Structure 1
């Protein structure tokens, strides 16, 4: 339910980070149990999008969670589907943003069929819409986004959301046994090697044993060891939190020097999988991209006169650096220029809450009392404020609990996968009176997902400017993975 706050009109945009966190955590608590981490044994990340509305005739401000997501994983490159029916990236930030596009699509549909939308009103251009006066959006994440924003000075032992996963080292058989046990516990298909941190504690124990038994270990092995072990061996060296997200190919790699010299900063990074490379850019990179291209994506940009931006990013209690957040989300895009009308560089305000997510990795480690190791929750939850099927729980890119027999059917698909979001968008197009269609959707033979994305010409021009000026190494999507239609 929306929360009404009475504040002075000249201060309506001043936010309380703890209030934002509380709204998100309470929304999570109201969800069913399915897909949530097992208390004391599993952890996850949470992200959400909130709509903020200032009432025109009063000093009242409404804040409402319209999309929420949890998750820590992404699928490997070989598991990606050419029919768009697999959810590639299930990090909480991506889940929350994709859920928000479901919400925005619903609100656009309400607008185009003549009903009332609390989000959109008519714009000047034919077939275009803009935000209602006084409406803005806030992005919340329970943890510093993975990638560049997570490379910060280490002031405590809390882990990052994308911890590094060292390769090799003589424990492959144990890992394989654990994977077999995991397979028996889940009904869902196992699609390649997945995850971001399943073996973190196991790797830590192995590395610590190796280091303590061989003080002459070479520098490369030492650099890949857990941070608290390095600090024991080189206690005089300042250190930084590590991210398992790797620098994208084609540019400088991390130097991997001891301490603060381990990472390069300001780099585009791909999220880690366990053994299997991924094509998913880090959440730091995606938030930076959204600050220029907007949160709506290429498809909904057909209907919008101006891109939609997050006014504020709020981070929960965790290792945090305002400097690193600014570097990752703002500085890298700050000089992008010559953007087409409707797009601009819109850096968000950044705040941190003092409230920790009850299922964070740090809190789970603190409360863990049982046997065995803690691990990231294998499921990802999406909830958004839509009329039909607001809840979507997935694992390994498919509906949670789906059997292999159901693969390739609608019952196996997440509502956030490309194919389902495409279906929702085409439903919006069908509901639009032909005389009210945006010009970019008129007089064209558009069939595939790729066709509709490319037809959003103004969005694509903005992306070209961002790509050439700020992110030239951003990997291009494989067109063969985007040529699907609803009939595929």
Structure 2
């Protein structure tokens, strides 16, 4: 079986092979990377094939006021979300191949009418170069993980390959104010958080001594209506286990933290409501691998699994699936820490990269580069048109799903997408069952709500684990 380093290296090499467009400027810009890896255990052998099927980079979110009722803007461009959305593109294309009779590397027919399941030996793994923002990032500092960017020597100084980080023994942190400023920027959600500029400019306490425990902090804020962080010194700053929203550009967002989203995918699956129409069972990540960064297996377990482990009475096809948590010793070459090491005088201020890159293994437009929720480089006159849309935005994923449904014969549609009627043949005693497509489904919201098993599982998860999870504005889901 592949090691965590094998997975990290595969993801970094896949990123390296992509075109230059959208990538950070070495030594000045940094970003985060996430990927979905398909694992295939070959039949009758010990051979295991590993393939990156979706990869994403990004650190940004848009504010609530910038969200579009047309579904044509990417609300959340954090790497984890980009990678998962790219994976949905990949899965939709694989289902399209399956229903068209062209064969799929991922799916085979299931017993249920119009349903599909994973091929034997196929599973999916999730990789992220950094601990997910939100609850999983609230972790204790240790001697092995000085905060945030120790003076280190890298085995490779280039931006091309993965890097092993080793703290330099006897490191002296000379400027406590600079260290605290770096700590606030180290969270991947901080770059968008213009509203925190006043807090960031305040003097910080000196770094705690080894006898004074402290924690890494997250910029994600607890959801409205729930308990707030106490903001006490050191370990009393945060309350663990809370749902959190990502900060945006000077305003609140409606995007839940990546920790919360991964926890949700661990119960509902990462396939989403639309693809659940076609699948016999939800799809879960068997393993979550994190690159070299501040990391705590206990915090990952708490944030991504324990908070939901007590959820009961889920309908058939859904369950609480704890993934295996692993960490690699290889660091992403475009991490903030590596960017600071490569920074040279005259390059200007180190900053997070403004672009988000998506690549997935599909034949049509596999590479998708965006900025501020739209395709990178679009002009103002293109906004609101198909030319400006990312292939990952809701309306584009919805249209891909509608294309899948159209390619499926009416008799082979999942029950949730067809209506059955009895018809007497030639007015005789023989009555046959005719299948036809439902005509009462029109909007994106209609199709999501028609995925009844998924919605029931989501209601159980909300009731038992996440009652404060904000509900989506229906007016943002009525596009066609």
1:321-369 Cα distance to aligned partner (Å, 9 max, x none):
0000000001001010100000000110000000000000111112211
Once superposed, what is the RMSD of the aligned Cα atoms? 2.1
Number of residues paired by the alignment? Answer: 423
Deviates more, 1:370-379 or 1:323-332: 370-379
Match of 2:450 in 1: 455
Change (3 A) 1:206 1:414: closer
TM-score by length of 2: 0.85
Displacement of 1:234 after TM fit? Answer: 8.5
Structure 1 segment 431-446 matched on structure 2, within 5 A? 431-443=407-419, 444=438, 445-446=440-441
Q: How does 1:286-325 map to 2 (within 5 A)?
A: 286-325=261-300
CA shift in 2, pair 1:127/1:151, >3 Å: same
Specify which of 148, 161, 179 is matched with residue 158 of structure 1.
Answer: 148
Match of 1:220 in 2: none
Once the two structures are superposed, the pairs formed by residues 99-178 of structure 1 within 5 Å of their partners are 99-155=86-142, 156-158=146-148, 164=184
Asked whether 1:197 is paired with 2:173, we answer no
* Residue 380, structure 1, aligned to residue 370, structure 2: no
Q: Deviation digits for residues 60-85 of structure 1, max 9, x if unmatched?
A: 11000000000000100000000000
Match of 2:302 among 315, 327, 332: 327
Quote the Cα distance in structure 1 between the aligned partners of 2:344 and 2:459.
51
Q: CA separation in 2, counterparts of 1:128 and 1:198?
A: 41
Map 1:268-417 onto structure 2 (within 5 A).
268-371=243-346, 372-417=348-393
Measured after TM superposition, the shift of residue 110 of structure 1 is 0.5
Distance 1:86 1:205 in 2: 30
* Alignment check: 8 A CA contact 1:309 1:346 kept: yes
Distance 1:395 1:195, change over 3 A: farther
Distance in 1 (CA, whole Å) between partners of 2:198 and 2:66 is 28
Q: Which stretch shifts more, 363-372 or 433-442?
A: 363-372
Secondary structure in structure 2 of the residue aligned to 1:271: strand
Q: CA separation of 1:199/1:483 partners in 2, compared to 1, >3 Å: closer, same or farther?
A: closer
Alignment partners' CA distance in 1, 2:16 and 2:283: 28
Q: Gaps spanning 5+ residues in structure 2: where?
A: 150-179, 420-437
Distance in 1 between the 2:208 and 2:466 partners? 37
| SS of residue in 2 equivalent to 1:430 | helix
Shift in CA distance, 204/251, structure 1 to aligned 2, threshold 3 Å: closer
Question: Equivalents in 1 of 2:285, 2:247: separation in Å?
Answer: 26
Q: Counterpart in 2 of 1:480?
A: 475
CA distance in 2 between partners of 1:432 and 1:438 (Å): 9
Match for residue 7 of structure 2? 20
Q: Where does the alignment leave 5 or more consecutive residues of structure 1 unmatched?
A: 1-13, 166-193, 212-228
Query: For 2:245 and 2:333, how far apart are their aligned partners in 1?
Result: 27
More strand by share: 2
The 1-side partners of 2:238 and 2:56 are apart by 29
**Superposed counterparts of 1:32-47, under 5 Å:** 32-47=19-34
Match of 2:174 in 1: none
Task: State TM-score, norm by structure 1.
Answer: 0.84
